[in-house]
Amino acid sequence: MSMPLVYLDNNATTSVAPEVLEAMLPYLRDAYGNPSSMHDFGGHLSKVVDHARGQLAALIGAHPDEIIFTSCGTESDNTAIASALETQPTKRHLVTTKVEHPALISQMNFLQKKGYEVTFVEVRPDGICEPETVRAAIRPDTAIVSVMWANNETGVINPIAEIAAAVKEKGVLFHTDAVQAVGKEPIDLSVTPVDMLSLSGHKLHAPKGIGALFLRRGTPFRPYIMGGHQENGRRGGTYAVPNIVALGAAAELAGAHMAEERRRVTALRDRLEAGLLERIPAVHRLGNPELRLFNTTAVSFEFIEGEAILLLLSENGVCASSGSACSSGSLEPSHVLRAMGLPFELCHASIRFSFSRYNTDADVDRVLEVTPGIIRELRRISPFTPPELLR
């Protein structure tokens, strides 16, 4: 596989930062011990794990003992929900939204089959989940409410502080899937009343195979992965030292770069968006234009298929995405865009470009150079294109 010319699919996964690779290499090469061992060769690595835990905790305003390392964002999400049900066996109702990641939606569907009741709350046409809608869905038997911090397909950012406050007012557990927000948005859990929060390394320039669950002190908890005494008995499995070191390093880097990256990447993203809207007719920008991640733009091109656009972009060395990576491959339109009430045709014709700190002005130039021709060509062969658009 040759290197893509332009990688604009960072909400699907990111490259491992060079600093992160450097930080983890010693623990792949030589320092391969087990932190739980009695001998010093392994045992001293528990200090390395503690250091990484501190780095990650600092990024989100948590105490180090509130961080549980997991294998991925999906495991963190599944753990949070399962724990809420295990610790409150009489509560059989859950609340989430219609726009969650498949990590959450699949588990909720599974729980429904097991006899639990799930309320999937609506979002606004701009993708925002309103605190009032969430509050209204809560019942006396609600075990947990889970609302994502930022959406992976549109980048839309929910008012999580307000939602969390509304849920806590009712005395119910609150979880948020913050996989897309951590490392991009400032997060301070010392002031935001979230009980549990999921994050994933490979969305912030650490490798795949490492995630974490924030668990607020005092929150009742049952492990999901049962095993040894790792993570204070909260998650079994030998510490993945290289990956944990990587996530710590990536968290520190993200914190150090965040303000500068926001400024620089917002400018790139906005130039791409304005360029597409200016050069191509019948294009729509999706989701709330202000309340969204600075790295994400989702657009929809009338009369053509998102998948066709992706293939031609790929032939031109540009990596983007249509809908979520998990639902691409099937031609089902995105559940997120459908929940926003977008007409069926526009759901099918959506493309997401997502930036990272490694994108440049040249990347934006390349996309603006190739996309108008691709759209024109696809519209020329589409039976749905009105003739006036082809002139």
Ligand X SMILES: *Cc1c(COP(=O)(O)O)cnc(C)c1O
Residue 109 amino acid letter: N
Tally of CB atoms within 10 A around 94:
27
Question: Using the rule CB under 6 A, is 166 a contact of ligand X?
Answer: no
CA distance 359 to 307: 23
Minimum CB distance to ligand X, residue 335 (Å):
13
Number of residues in the chain: 391
Contact status: 356 vs ligand X (CB under 6 A): no
Minimal distance, residue 52 CB to ligand X, in Å: 17
What is the CB neighbour count within 10 angstroms for residue 185? Answer: 16
Least CB distance from residue 38 to ligand X, whole Å?
Answer: 33
Applying CB under 6 A, does 337 fall inside the site for ligand X?
A: no
Q: Which is nearer to ligand X, 176 or 371 (CB)?
A: 176
Regarding 74 and contact with ligand X (CB under 6 A), the answer is: yes
Q: Encode 198-257 in three state secondary structure.
A: EEEHHHCCCCCCCEEEEECCCCCCCCCCCCCCHHHHCCCCCCCHHHHHHHHHHHHHHHHH
Tell me the number of residues near ligand X by CB under 6 A: 14
Which positions from 200 to 239 touch ligand X by CB under 6 A, shown as an x/- string?
Answer: x-xx-------x----------------------------
Considering only the stretches 67-75, 133-141, 222-230, 342-350, report the one whose residues sit in contact with ligand X under the rule CB under 6 A: 67-75
| Token code pair at residue 277 | 């809207």
In this complex, which beta carbon is closest to ligand X, that of residue 152 or of residue 322? 152
CB of 232 to ligand X, least distance (A): 22
- The reply on whether position 9 binds ligand X by CB under 6 A is no
Catalytic residue among 72, 129, 319, 326: 326
User: The tokens of 118 are what?
Assistant: 């799930």
Report the residue number, 103 or 156, with the smaller CB distance to ligand X: 103
Q: Is 244 in the site for ligand X (CB under 6 A)?
A: no
> Interface with ligand X includes 336 (CB under 6 A)?
no
Residues 6+ apart with CB under 8 A from 309: 301, 320, 322, 349, 351, 371, 374, 375, 378
Cα(292)–Cα(207) distance, rounded to whole angstroms?
A: 25
Which residues 6+ apart lie within 8 Å of 269 measured at CB?
294, 295, 296, 297, 353, 355
What is the footprint of ligand X within residues 96-135 (CB under 6 A)?
Answer: 101, 103
Tell me if residue 129 is catalytic: no
Is residue 152 at the binding interface for ligand X, with CB under 6 A as the rule? yes
Provide CB contacts within 8 A for 248, sequence distance 6+.
23, 51, 52, 53, 54, 55, 56
Query: Is residue 164 at the binding interface for ligand X, with CB under 6 A as the rule?
Result: no
Query: Does residue 183 interact with ligand X by CB under 6 A?
Result: no
* 73 binds ligand X per the rule CB under 6 A: yes
154 binds ligand X (CB under 6 A): no
Residue 134, C-beta contacts closer than 8 angstroms, at least 6 positions apart: 95, 121, 145, 147, 163, 166, 167
| Close Cβ partners of 116 (under 8 Å, ≥ 6 residues apart) | 85, 92, 93, 94
Interaction between residue 180 and ligand X (CB under 6 A) = yes
What residues are labeled active site? Answer: 326
Q: Which residues bind ligand X (CB under 6 A)?
A: 72-74, 101, 103, 148, 152, 177, 179-180, 200, 202-203, 211
